[in-house]
């Protein structure tokens, strides 16, 4: 089954003091992501990108439609274990070092001993946090926090990586580093869902892209098709 399959997905949030108003965040979204694809979900603020990702991660319940990971519901623990998630503003324990934080994530995943140590060292190296991982997280730049959070997402060797605005708020160097890490991960054959409002990131990284506006898909295709349609 495909890493991601979404059909007729809708989400209406109730807002206002009496929960008497509605925000239609998603209105009948369809999305298919094949193995090994780097798939961009592109759209302006409020388009419904985060809501899509939160439903896929089992953090928000859909109002209608279905969202499947590898053909199964995101609620199933064995499915979730195959997915690495980088949230938009990851919160890390400030007083741990990056290495301690990623080690903790590995332990929660069920790793231990030498295997845990080796995997922690490898993912920290992959995200360029070799030496800096011995500093406390409260001393990190935003880019270092993002890369440590990505190392945490990679510790389980996920088949699917879901990235919510991984480059937003980073300086040009930080953005470049994040892009290079994503490209390296793509070389390994990992399927990646990449949500952003930055079109140049999509051009640099993605095989296919869906453009979301107002909770609806307004375009879908290869990056070439998208660029020539402009």
Q: Minimal distance in Å, beta carbon 12 to ligand ADP?
A: 9
Q: What's the CA gap between 105 and 21, in Å, rounded?
A: 39
Q: What is the distance between the alpha carbons of residues 178 and 131, in angstroms, rounded to a whole number? A: 17
Which residue number, 38 or 195, has a Cβ lying nearer to ligand ADP?
Answer: 195
Residue 90 interacting with ligand ADP (CB under 6 A): no
Handedness of CA 67, 69, 70, 76 (dihedral sign): negative
CB 191 to ligand ADP: min, Å = 20
Residue span binding ligand ADP (CB under 6 A) among the ranges 47-55, 98-106, 149-157, 203-211: 47-55
| Residue from the set 8, 28, 46, 65 that interacts with ligand ADP by CB under 6 A | 46
Shortest gap between Cβ of 187 and ligand ADP (angstroms)? 28
**Contact (CB, 8 A) for 13 and 166:** no
Q: What is the CA radius of gyration of the chain?
A: 18
Query: Are 199 and 32 spatial neighbours (Cβ–Cβ below 8 Å)?
Result: no
3-state secondary structure of 86: strand
Q: Which of 49, 99, 175, 186 is the binder for ligand ADP (CB under 6 A)?
A: 49
Please report whether residue 50 would count as binding ligand ADP according to CB under 6 A.
Answer: yes
Q: Cβ of 172: how many Cβ atoms within 10 Å? A: 8
Is residue 23 part of the contact set for ligand ADP (CB under 6 A)? Answer: yes
Q: Is 77 exposed, middle or buried (0-12, 13-18, 19+ CB in 10 A)?
A: exposed
Which of 7, 13, 36, 179 touches ligand ADP by CB under 6 A? 13
Residue list 51-70, contact with ligand ADP (CB under 6 A): 51
Q: From the CB of 50, what's the least distance to ligand ADP, in Å?
A: 3
**Site of interaction with ligand ADP (CB under 6 A):** 13, 15, 23, 25, 43, 45-51, 88
């Amino acid at each position: 089954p495909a890493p991601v399959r979404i059909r007729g997905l809708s989400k209406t949030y109730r807002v206002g003091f009496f929960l008497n108003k509605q925000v239609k965040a998603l209105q009948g979204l369809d999305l298919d992501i094949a193995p090994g694809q780097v798939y961009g979900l592109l759209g302006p603020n409020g388009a419904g990108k985060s809501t899509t990702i939160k439903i896929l991660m089992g953090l928000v319940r859909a109002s209608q439609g279905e969202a499947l990971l590898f053909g199964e519901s995101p609620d199933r623990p064995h499915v979730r274990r195959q997915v690495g998630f980088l949230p938009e503003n990851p919160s890390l324990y400030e007083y741990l070092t990056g290495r301690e934080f990623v080690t903790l994530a590995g332990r929660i995943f069920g790793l231990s001993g030498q295997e845990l140590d080796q995997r922690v060292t490898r993912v920290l190296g992959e995200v360029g946090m070799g030496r800096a991982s011995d500093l406390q997280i409260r001393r990190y730049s935003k880019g270092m926090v993002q890369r440590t959070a990505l190392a945490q997402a990679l510790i389980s060797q996920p088949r699917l990586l879901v990235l919510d605005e991984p480059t937003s708020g980073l300086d040009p160097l930080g953005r470049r580093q994040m892009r290079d890490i994503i490209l390296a991960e793509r070389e390994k054959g990992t399927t990646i869902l990449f949500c952003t409002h930055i079109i140049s990131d999509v051009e640099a990284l993605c095989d296919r892209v869906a453009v979301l506006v107002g909770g609806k898909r307004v375009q879908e295709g290869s990056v070439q098709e998208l660029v020539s349609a402009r």
